[in-house]
């Protein structure tokens, strides 16, 4: 209890001081000692969202997109030291769960001009990011311009650069699908990397 009590006070103070700066700040949202929040006017936090210690949120139209949005759905729970940066659109569905050190981004550092340091090159827009309701991202996962379906599991240290369909388990760098839920057999079955079910031997 001695650790939760100061945290609960901070959550209340944060709401009083900063909630009105967000596009929407839902009921019973808890943000615990964030590393930073940039572009709060472009951020939507659904009811009951929990954001753990030292997570960084940003939604800035650095690539010229007028409809920049970072949305975290109802009941989602983000681990410690997450880093989520939207320059156009990053949307997490309801009840998404992330472990610590997860990175999610819809943009990249420009590198096309070899005569210029990457630091001086413009940020480039990648594809929008969507993470489906009920999905779980393990420790150190990176999601870079990709969509993840509903109720998916992404294993620790994976880098997601390609879309993952609903009810899938994906691992690796880059992440590949290793298992999907088969609605016909009502079982989780092994798959090839493209998500097609493997033929099981007799």
Residue 165: the pLDDT is 96
Give pTM, 2 decimals: 0.93
pLDDT at 201: 55
Give pLDDT, residue 9: 87
What does 29-54 look like in DSSP terms, one character per residue? -EE-S-SEEE-GGGEEE-TT-EE-TT
| Confidence check: pLDDT of 202 > 70 | no
pLDDT at 88: 98
Write out the CATH class of domain 4-190: mainly beta
DSSP state string for 55-89: -EEEE--TT--TT-EEEE-TT-EE-TT-EEEESSE
Listed in sequence order, the residues at least 6 apart from 179 whose beta carbon sits closer than 8 Å to its beta carbon are 168, 169, 188, 189, 190, 191
Q: Which residue has the higher pLDDT, 66 or 152?
A: 152
Q: Tens of pLDDT along 97-133?
A: 999 999 999 999 999 999 999 999 999 999 999 999 9
pLDDT digits (tens, 9 = 90+) for 25-34: 999 999 999 9
What is the helix (H) or strand (E) element at residue 14, kind and residue range?
Answer: helix 4-18
pLDDT value of position 89: 98
Cα(106)–Cα(166) distance, rounded to whole angstroms?
20
Mean pLDDT of the chain: 94
């Amino acid at each position: 209890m001695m650790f939760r009590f100061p945290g609960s006070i901070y959550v209340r103070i944060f709401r009083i001081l900063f909630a009105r700066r967000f596009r929407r700040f839902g009921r019973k949202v808890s943000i615990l000692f964030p590393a930073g929040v940039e572009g709060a006017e472009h951020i939507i936090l659904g009811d009951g969202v929990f954001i753990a210690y030292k997570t960084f949120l940003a939604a800035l139209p650095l690539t010229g997109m007028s409809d920049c949005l970072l949305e975290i759905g109802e009941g989602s729970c983000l681990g410690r030291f997450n880093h989520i940066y939207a320059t156009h659109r990053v949307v997490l569905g309801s009840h998404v769960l992330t472990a610590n050190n997860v990175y999610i981004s819809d943009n990249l550092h420009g590198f096309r001009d070899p005569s210029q340091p990457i630091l001086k090159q413009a940020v480039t827009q990648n594809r929008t990011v969507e993470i489906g309701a009920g999905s779980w991202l393990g420790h150190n996962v990176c999601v870079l311009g990709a969509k993840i379906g509903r109720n998916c599991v992404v294993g620790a240290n994976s880098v997601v650069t390609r879309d993952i369909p609903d009810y899938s388990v994906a691992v690796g760098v880059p992440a590949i699908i290793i298992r999907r839920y088969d609605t016909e057999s009502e079982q989780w079955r092994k798959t090839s990397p493209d998500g097609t079910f493997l033929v099981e031997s007799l």
